[in-house]
Amino acid sequence: MSSNLRRLYEDLRSICVVVIYPPGEDRDVVVQQLQRIGCRLKLVWPFPAEPPKDADVIFFRVSQELEGNTGWSATAVNAAFVALSDYESPTTLKLLLDTHAHGVITKPFRSAGIFSTLVLARSSHSFQERQQGKIDKLEATMKSRRQIEKAIRVLMDSQSMSETQAYEHMRSKATNLRITVGEVATMVTEAHETMERLGIGSPAGAKGASRKP
């Protein structure tokens, strides 16, 4: 057995797999194959209102209980989703699409194919997580940039700084406080907004003008 395949089996033996399907021969086929692989198993029935939170992979029956249940979506749960479909119909396919499942197994269930579906579902889920991480990071960067631009305008108006001076001022404070420029920008804008709500904030230019007779 190659080292890569060995690591794959070790990974699968460490995960918790929940099977949500009524007792019977069909479920037994799935359960027995997962037991051969060595996964830690948990059997659930009747169908729960929401996905189990302690699972790495969830095998679930595509049924009417899914209809209108937004919690049953792979995008909302930190687990790989594998759908167990009794039959294909427009209604079933609609329910399946709504779950954003990472894999699907259609009756008659056979031991062949469960292993590959499990591996691919895990891989798809990992890819989805990486992509979501990149999206979250990009959104955080864009939000920080907007906050910095807003804070620069505040400092330009209230402290008569140039754009460069305002940014360098925040960068210097960030270095001294050992925080990011974005965090300093948030402090600047929040302080400015608080002063405005209290009626005691005014631009530096306006202050200078108010001192003239």
Under the banding of pLDDT at 50, 70 and 90, the label for residue 132 is confident
- At 13, the pLDDT band (50, 70, 90 cuts) reads confident
Residue 11 has pLDDT above 90, yes or no: no
Question: How far is Cα 68 from Cα 136, in angstroms, rounded to an integer?
Answer: 27
**CATH number of the domain at 135-204, please?**
1.10.10.10
Q: Is the dihedral of CA 45, 49, 55, 58 positive or negative?
A: positive
Q: How confident is the model at residue 201 (pLDDT cuts 50, 70, 90)?
A: low
Show the tokens assigned to 182. Answer: 């974005």
With H, G, I as helix, E, B as strand and everything else as coil, classify residue 165: helix
Provide mean pLDDT across the span 92-117: 92
Q: Where are the domain boundaries for CATH 1.10.10.10 in the chain?
A: 135-204
The β-bridge partners of 31 are: none
Q: Please report which confidence band the pLDDT of residue 148 belongs to, taking 50, 70 and 90 as the band edges.
A: very high
Counts for the chain of helices (H) and strands (E), in that order: 7, 5
Query: What is the amino acid identity at position 180?
Result: T
**Does position 46 have pLDDT exceeding 90, yes or no?**
yes
> Which residues, including other chains, have CB under 8 Å from residue 19's CB and lie 6 or more apart?
27, 30, 31, 34, 41, 42, 43, 44, 59
In angstroms, the CA 150 to CA 90 distance is 50
Write down the CATH number for the domain with range 3-112: 3.40.50.2300
CATH 3.40.50.2300 domain locations along the chain: 3-112
pLDDT at 10: 80
Q: Is the pTM of this model over 0.75?
A: no
* pLDDT attached to residue 4: 66
